[in-house]
Each structure stands twice: as structure tokens, then as C-alpha cells.
Structure 1
């Protein structure tokens, strides 16, 4: 009996290319965790169905220009897909804002306020939706190194909540504190957008078959955040070429990331600046609109992949408690959405957060039955003109923060 390839033995590795048409070098790749993935070579076909011959039968069929269609699904975890998300948003992850030697007063009972005696959160680059931690200084242990999600921001006051839900302790002013955005952030920028190509290998080591897809770009990701369950991702990728071999192309790729999967049971959802406890699920589509160019004479390889504008849309469902969300739709009012999910319940857990600083609800429907009535609301995210340097939000459609990016 022949050996049959098994999915459990297949490994997916990827690495950035230096540019289109240049496969990544064999060292420095990264294995990728997944639920499942398929990268398929597709070719146009042309036959002679319109040609007439005396034998009244089809004479010829040919293959034409090609492309690679990729699908990968998995569970969202800190660091697991950060490189692909950065490529999709067209900006690499980078460190967020930080301020040292700050005098901080902690007050409130949820939401809480972190008031600084001098300096400016806005001038330092902090934004609504940032997850920060207080460190250094003689802070109470309940306030030290705890994930704090900013829900409101002025020059001297950061309003927000601890992501693990455990109360902060009022104190201060405490001098010599450090306030810092955790991990790294990315967002779709107004200029200098990146244009990332990957080489992706599917290696079936039990039958020694390597399928190497080249000039691959991340076209879209669908994020699924259920009211109860794991956060999931479904990536759509597109490439220009695929070759096969009997040996593994990438040598000793780095092992897969190991952070816990994010669950919607731990974290926070902020809608219109207020923590929300009635949203039951969120579906979010981040679309880079990447499309292979048409073929050219003399080769079956398309010359490149072109892109259109960056788009974000989605929907969420919420228990019907009042008419607030429906009124946003009817009044065509713009709002904000922040989702931060943690890998566990500790105060300094790793996390991924998503911020849509300007969105508009475009539909409002409710269901019925012998249960709690649920409303479903579709939305589109928009470019945030009001954000940027010195403002309390990013000048972008979407930003992502990841502690392990």
C-alpha cells in the first residue's frame, strides 16, 4: 500500500520576500499554526468549442495564465498572525507611546481615571483604545503592571477599565511612574504604506511533497468573535506562482507561536465609549482588495498583484435592551468600537485589541421567539479624519495592538 499524506503531518511555513518575483531565501522562515490551509494553483483554460470539424468533436483544450488561491483558517492568538495582519493593514507593527517619570493619581470605581500632574497624554501619542500599564514608582500592587484599556482621553486624564475586571485601588499622586502602551501597534497609515509579498510552503513530509507558492499577498481576513467561544480567523491569500519539489524548501523554520488562543470570555468590548455587556457576537471583514493583474503575451505568469483601497466592514448582534444602537442607525450617527481580548484572566495577560475609531451602522434588524430578542447591526468602518498627532485617536480606519507582535 502506498503512503498516504496526512494533514496532521503537513507543515506550513512562510517568509517575506524582498519584492515581487524574488522567492524568499531558504533560512529564517516561520511555521504557522492553523486549523486548516490550502494553497491551490489555478489556470485559465481555453478550448475550441466554437470550432467546427467534420468529425463533430472537440479538438483542443489549452491552459493559460495562472494564479494561486490560498485559504487558511485558525484561532486568533497573540503573535500568531501578527505579520500577516500587519501586511494586510499596510504598516509593520511598532512600539506604542510611553511616558516616564510621571506623577499619577488613580481614582474612580470603574471606569477609573489615571490623572497625570504634568505633561500630556495626547502630546506623548497615547490614543483611545490603547491598552497601557503603569510601572515603576511606589504603586499599589493592585495598580502595578495591569492591562488598562483607555476608553476616554484628554491631555491629563486617561479614563478606562482594567481588562481582567479586578478593581484598581485609589491612590496618589504617586511620583516617578512609567505609563506605556504594551506590545506593538499597527494601523493603516496615510502614507508610506507597505506592500508585502510572501513565499509560503506546504510541506507534506510523510510523502516528501513540497508545494511552494510565491509572490503571495494577504488579501483579506474574516474575524469571528462569538459571544462564547474562541476568536477565529479566516485568511484569503492570492499569489502568482507555485512549484513542487521532493525536498523541503525552507530549512529549519522557527517553530509555531505558543500563546493561548483568545477567548471572548476574557477582555472587554467598548461601543460608543461605554463598556458593553449585551453584544453576543462580532463578525469583522478586513479587506485589502488584492487582485492579480491580467495576463500578458508570452508567459503564463501574471506580472503583479494590484490593490484597491483598504476596507473594513462587519456586523454585530446585541441583546435588545434599549433603542440606543438602533437610534445610531436611524440618525446616521457615527460611533467607535474597541475590542480587547486577553489570553488569560491575569492582570498582565497577553492580548490583541482592535480599534475602529469611526464607524457607521448601516442596518438594524431584530429577531423574535421565546428567548431574549437580539438585534443585528451591520456597519462600515471609515477613515478617521479627526485622528493623528496630538489627537486622542489614530488617523486611520483601523488599528491593532498585539503584545507578542
Structure 2
């Protein structure tokens, strides 16, 4: 009899139609894990019997609890459904505008339209947009980060636009799909198929409890999803694996060195670490007369972040002292020609919770650790009503 290796394991999952019930075998998706796993535990029910023989009665099993995590390299389209789940949101349809009449000011980094409204058309601060059909080709088919929007003027972060003093007509603009936070709960079934011993553990009623985005020097952009679930079962023989031909994405992993990170009005090139965590504090609840929680319950979302940067001036200290409201935009693009496929996270309403410098006397540069206070953006109009949003060019 052979033993199962630690690598020849397929992780697949599918959204449940009914909470806690195994969905059909087709239409599953492969999770591309670095590490992780889901495990079922049970509470212990200990008898309080006072025995005259000086011994203890064997304990019984209590309610089941399923928890665990998987981490994976951020890549195009690989985890969109799980990101939407932790946001409790739904991706909107990509935005496509045609027939625009625009001028471009390369110094002000603005696109000004002759008629209509960017805001009414659905363009928001923190979106990434792409223009097309300019005679001035340098403005076409590029990922442009929107930093400000009024009815007629759209401002972007990129400073290498080509000036268009006389309005050009017939211009197009696209904004790939995005998701903001909402209140729609989703649950999944996860299967770990252990190919060496031809069997599976299937976890049911699994909700995404939290997600962490983590960047380190010379590392991949890593997403870690923490899960809480209702139950688990074993499948063997002809029943395993349950999910037939689950689909795996083939997009390349996105790296920290390729990331473009903008805090406030500055693109940062001096970060040594960054992490952002979206947490729903998901958990089951103990009840009588059954061995599983009726559901896994989520709570108000919190978004927390920390970054470490080289210390070059006192600007972050002044931001901290003044409680300045800033934004944070993380853009990850594939290494290809324009328009580059991308995944991006945007936080529109944050202040610095700390700006603590490293101790003196250490070798190398002095660093500062910056904590982030993050809340819902309630400005309306040109701003999405969310704490964090995710946008991607993945279909």
C-alpha cells in the first residue's frame, strides 16, 4: 500500500447553489495553491461523572468545525470569484464608451470631453481606463489610473500623455470589470483530491472569511484566503474525484517588483513590505440537536493594512500628525505589450494609523512602519461607496 505525497494533490472548488450541499460535478475550478489546506475538527464533550474507581469516562465528539487557508500567487483571472466572495460583491459589466470628443492636456494629465459627463457614464476615481482611436497614438491602449473625475474632466496619474489641443472625435474609452463591497453571501464546496491514494476530502458550506494581499521584495504578489466551513466528508474509489475536469487558469503569476503602488499623489518606489487584509470574521455557531453549524456567519468587514518603507523625508510623519485622508492604488500588470492585462486594488479613504521609525544604530537604511486606518468612502459622486475595490482585465 502506497502513501500520499505532499504535492500530488488537486484542489478544486465550485460555488454552492444551496448552502452546505455538494454542487454538481461539472463546472469546477482549480485553485492554484502555494500552501494550505482545510481541516475538520470536532469539539470535545467531557463527562463530569464522579467515578468511584478513580478513573475518567471517555470523552465524546461534539460539534464539527471546518477551517483552513490556501495561499496562491496573484494571477489574471485565477481568484476573481473568491475575491468577489470576500467582498460580498458582484462584478459589474465592463464599461465601453464610444463617440467621445476629447482634448488632452499632457501637463495637467487631463482628458476633457466636449459633451456628456464622465460621472454619469460611470467612471470613478480609482478606476483604470483605456482610450482608443486617438490620432495621437501615444494615448491609445494604455492602462491609465484615474485620480480625479468631474463631469467633463478626467485626470490620470500617468505623466507621459501626448497633448491634444484641438478636440479629436470618435474616441473610445473602456473600463474593465470591477467589484466593490456588498452584502451578497456566497459559499463553496472545496475538494482536495489525493491522487496517490485515489481519494478526496470534500469540504462543504465554505465561506471566505478573510483575504490578505502580501508583497515582499523579490517575491510574488501573494493572496492568502482564510476559510470557515460547515462540514467535511471522504470520497473514495469511483466517487473520487467529485469535480470532473475542473478548469485551471494558465496566467502567469504577478510579482511585487512589477507592481505600481500609489499612495496619495505619489508613486512609491521605496517600499520594503506591504500587506492588506480584508476580514469578515466568519465563524459558525454551536447549537444543540445537530453536529454542524446551521451556517457560517460573516460580520462587518474590516480592512487593515501595513507597509514598511525607506525613510527619505518627514512627509509620512506629517500625514500622520495631520490625519490626512489619502488613497492607495496597487496595480499589477502582466509583462507584455500594451494594453497590458492587469489586476488592481484601490482603497479611497485611509489615514495613517502610525509612522514609526526603526531604531538608530542598525546597518543599512532607516525604515518606517506605517499602519493604515481604512473606512468606507462616503463622498459619493465620483467615488465608489466601498472600503476597497478590485478591478481586472480578465474576462
TM-score, length-scaled by structure 1: 0.91
Match of 1:245 in 2: 235
Per-residue deviation, 1:114: 2.0
| Pair 1:141-2:110 in alignment | no
Per-residue deviation, 1:20: 1.5
Find the partner of 1:310 among 301, 307, 313: 301
Per-residue deviation, 1:270: 1.6
Per-residue deviation, 1:84: 0.4
Match of 1:47 in 2: 46
Match of 1:67 in 2: 65
Structure 2 SS opposite 1:84: helix
Q: Is the 8 A contact 2:178 2:391 kept in 1?
A: yes
Per-residue deviation, 1:96: 4.0
Per-residue deviation, 1:8: 2.6
Per-residue deviation, 1:161: 3.6
Gaps of 5+ in 2: none
CA distance in 1 between partners of 2:363 and 2:313 (Å): 19
Match of 1:211 in 2: 201
Per-residue deviation, 1:15: 0.6
Q: Is the 8 A contact 2:208 2:227 kept in 1?
A: yes
Structure 2 SS opposite 1:8: coil
Match of 1:284 in 2: 276
Match of 1:36 in 2: 35
Match of 1:379 in 2: 372
Find the partner of 1:90 among 88, 91, 103: 88
Match of 2:77 in 1: 79
CA distance in 2 between partners of 1:116 and 1:293 (Å): 54
Q: CA 1:176 to 1:267, structure 2 compared with 1: closer, same or farther past 3 Å?
A: farther
Q: How does 1:343-354 map to 2 (within 5 A)?
A: 343-354=334-345
CA distance in 2 between partners of 1:24 and 1:96 (Å): 29
Per-residue deviation, 1:143: 2.1
Q: Is the 8 A contact 1:364 1:376 kept in 2?
A: yes
Match of 1:179 in 2: 173
Please provide the CA RMSD for this pair: 1.8
Match of 1:341 in 2: 332
CA distance in 2 between partners of 1:128 and 1:7 (Å): 45
Match of 2:148 in 1: 152
CA distance in 1 between partners of 2:134 and 2:329 (Å): 31
| Pair 1:169-2:166 in alignment | no
Structure 2 SS opposite 1:307: coil
Gaps of 5+ in 1: none
CA distance in 2 between partners of 1:104 and 1:84 (Å): 38
Per-residue deviation, 1:152: 2.3
Q: CA 1:168 to 1:346, structure 2 compared with 1: closer, same or farther past 3 Å?
A: farther
Match of 1:201 in 2: 191
Tell me how many residue pairs correspond in the alignment. 390
TM-score, length-scaled by structure 2: 0.93
Q: How does 1:294-333 map to 2 (within 5 A)?
A: 294-297=286-289, 299-333=290-324
Q: Is the 8 A contact 2:179 2:389 kept in 1?
A: yes
CA distance in 2 between partners of 1:248 and 1:159 (Å): 54
CA distance in 2 between partners of 1:46 and 1:216 (Å): 25
Structure 1 SS opposite 2:172: strand
